[in-house]
Chain A
Amino acid sequence: MALLTVEVCAGTSCHLLGNQAIIEALESLPVSWQKQIRLGYRSCLGSCGRGPCVTIGKQVIEQASPEKVLTVIKQRLTAVNVEKEVG
């Protein structure tokens, strides 16, 4: 199964706007979720005014919060799992 790529922007603005809270939330995800995710950083996504930014797959989430990010990840992982069951 392809892993879901989650990348947190670690540029100046996103760092100052609180990307650490998001990183901490991602690092403390249940192991079963972590196994399905490839976590990384980005140097700058160019949306400095609307940070912190996180990409999940191809989707860019601006003004991200841990809750917002976890909700999207959950949706994506559930969708993948449902597809698997149906398939």
Chain B
Amino acid sequence: MSMTLKIDVGVASLAKDQEEVCGDTVEIVKNDRSTTIVLSDGLGSGIKASILSILSTKIASGLLRRNVSLEQVFATIADTLPTCKVRNLAYSTLSILRIKTNGDCHLIEYDNPMLLRFKAGKRAPLKRQKREIAGKEVLESWFRIEPEDLLVMVSDGVINAGVGGLYRLGLGYKGLVNSVLDWADEYDDALPLAQRLIEVVDACYLGRRGDDSTSIVVRARIPRTAVLLTGPPADPKLDRELVDNYLSYRNVMRIVCGGATGNLVAREMGQELKTSLKYEDPSVPPTAQIKGIDLVTEGILTLNKCLSKLKSSDKDWRSITRADGASLLCHALSRADRVIMLVGTAVNPAHEEFMNSLQLLTRTQVVEELKEELTKRDKEVIIEKF
């Protein structure tokens, strides 16, 4: 069975001490068929290194967007990049990893530390072949990423972290592997793990960062899906059908937004709806509970508040600890890779008056804007109206 995997990529970087910019550059190019990650480390540090690595990754991403093959991309960069006359070294390193949606991977590495692969809590080394492309010796690998696999790509600042300081020879591959294994179970998502690895690097340097450091974490998983039901259908005869449709999604996070909608779902499921005894936030009506549903909130106000929370900050809502309905909804939507919104279009006449005076978006408007906001955050959003 062909399955579309969610490829979750997290990137964290640290600039060398006293430098304003990081000389490592990462570009991620996504399209329907693949995710491609380009990591380039410019020779030296500071602005010069930064410009060189940006040059490499921008050439790469431009070509990748035009679906040029990895080796052609590499050859173009290798031909374009100058070589340092003093040190006779290429001005930047390069790793390119293309992951197709079915999990097939193609990796080309030039002068960067080796990509590490982990499976089921253990390191799973890749088979690599030496190859010459455009006069440069590169390492090439073809492999397949499976759900729950973990890939870690780093620049040499990570491998060398702590040289002559905390460690005589630096963190090394062994230290990096141990750090990944120490922290991998702690985080489901790629970004916090990448950040944690960079914190480890920073600690190794004892505050005197000897080089630019970048860590890229790639996690593959079966997409996490949330199904959000909001609003009664325009035709009350469709109540049953809508709830059946809603409950037909399996292994998903189920969310209901709306008082009348909650009552409708509880009634059709033959369950009781229990409203929370607490206003966690005076501006957001309390949540409720229905057995078998993961999150039940009020509708219009909570959806509007959730949208404004998402818009007001890029912060990672997965780590919030507030318990009001809007924060919980932000949390749930941020965790999901796919969000399916089943939107009933019945209009509550009592709401219409408020909507204008309070500048609230209607249900249909707010879900459209949520879709836009979530799509920006790399989520697939599907809206179905009833």
Contacts and interface: CB of A to CB of B under 8 A. Distances in A.
Interface of A: 9-13, 15-16, 20, 23, 39-44, 46, 48-49, 51
A61 to B, nearest CB: 17
B16 to A, nearest CB: 53
B279 A11 contact: no
A10 B286 contact: yes
B86 interface: no
Contacts of B263: 43-44, 46
A39 B301 CA distance: 23
Given A12-B301, A40-B275, A49 B350 contact: yes
A53 to B, nearest CB: 11
Contacts of B260: 11, 44, 46
A9 B286 CA distance: 10
Given A12-B298, A13-B351, A16-B358, A23 B273 contact: no
**Secondary structure of the B side of the interface?**
mixed
Interface in B301-353: 301, 348-351
Nearest to A44: B259
Contact of B259 (A12, A16, A39, A40): A12
Contacts of B275: 10, 40-43
13 contacts: A9-B259, A10-B298, A12-B258, A12-B299, A12-B348, A13-B354, A16-B354, A40-B277, A41-B277, A41-B286, A44-B258, A44-B262, A48-B348
Contact of A15 (B276, B288, B298): B298
Contacts of A41: 275-277, 286
A47 B218 CA distance: 51
Contacts of B259: 9-12, 43-44
B279 A10 contact: yes
B135 interface: no
Given A12-B285, A16-B358, A23 B279 contact: yes
Most B C-beta atoms less than 10 A away, residue of A10, A11, A15, A48? A11
A48 B350 contact: yes
Most A C-beta atoms less than 10 A away, residue of B285, B286, B348? B285
Contacts of A11: 259-260, 285, 298
**Secondary structure of the A side of the interface?**
mixed
B78 to A, nearest CB: 61
A46 B299 CA distance: 14
A13 B348 CA distance: 10
A7 to B, nearest CB: 8
A39 B354 CA distance: 27
Contacts of A44: 258-260, 262-263
B270 interface: no
A12 B282 CA distance: 13
Most B C-beta atoms less than 10 A away, residue of A10, A20, A43, A46? A43
Contacts of A9: 259
A39 B348 CA distance: 27
B300 interface: yes
A59 B35 CA distance: 60
Contact of B300 (A12, A23, A42): A12
Given A39-B277, A43-B273, A43-B298, 8 more contacts: A10-B286, A12-B298, A12-B301, A12-B348, A12-B354, A43-B263, A44-B260, A48-B349
B155 to A, nearest CB: 51
Most B C-beta atoms less than 10 A away, residue of A40, A42, A44, A51? A44
B320 to A, nearest CB: 22
B232 to A, nearest CB: 10
Nearest to B259: A44
Contacts of B354: 12-13, 16
B350 A13 contact: yes
B167 to A, nearest CB: 58
Most B C-beta atoms less than 10 A away, residue of A23, A41, A46? A41
Most B C-beta atoms less than 10 A away, residue of A15, A20, A42, A49? A15
